[in-house]
Amino acid sequence: NGGDLIYNYFLTLEDINKDTINVPYPTGEISITLPKEIDTSKPLRVKGKGFENEGGDFYINLNFKHTRL
């Protein structure tokens, strides 16, 4: 999206108890600190981690992984 990178991350129940998650990135994984209260309506933003030549940001959309019981 322009100079921005966007990634959809699907949280598991185990992820909710973690302070950080690792997400794929073009040069390898990066560690993202999770906020204490997760709001899936707003993406997490990592400034300056979009396309380098376009000065974009990296956005991580958080979604909950649904499983059948």
Element holding 13 (H helix, E strand):
helix 13-16
- Residue 39: the pLDDT is 87
Q: How far apart are CA 69 and CA 50, in angstroms?
A: 38
Q: How far apart are CA 69 and CA 66, in angstroms?
A: 10
CA angle 28, 20, 65 (to 5 degrees): 90
Tell me if 58 sits within 8 A of 25, measured CB to CB. yes
- Residue 13: the pLDDT is 84
The pLDDT tens digits along the chain (69 residues) read 678 999 999 998 888 889 999 999 988 999 999 998 888 899 999 998 888 767 799 999 999 876 666
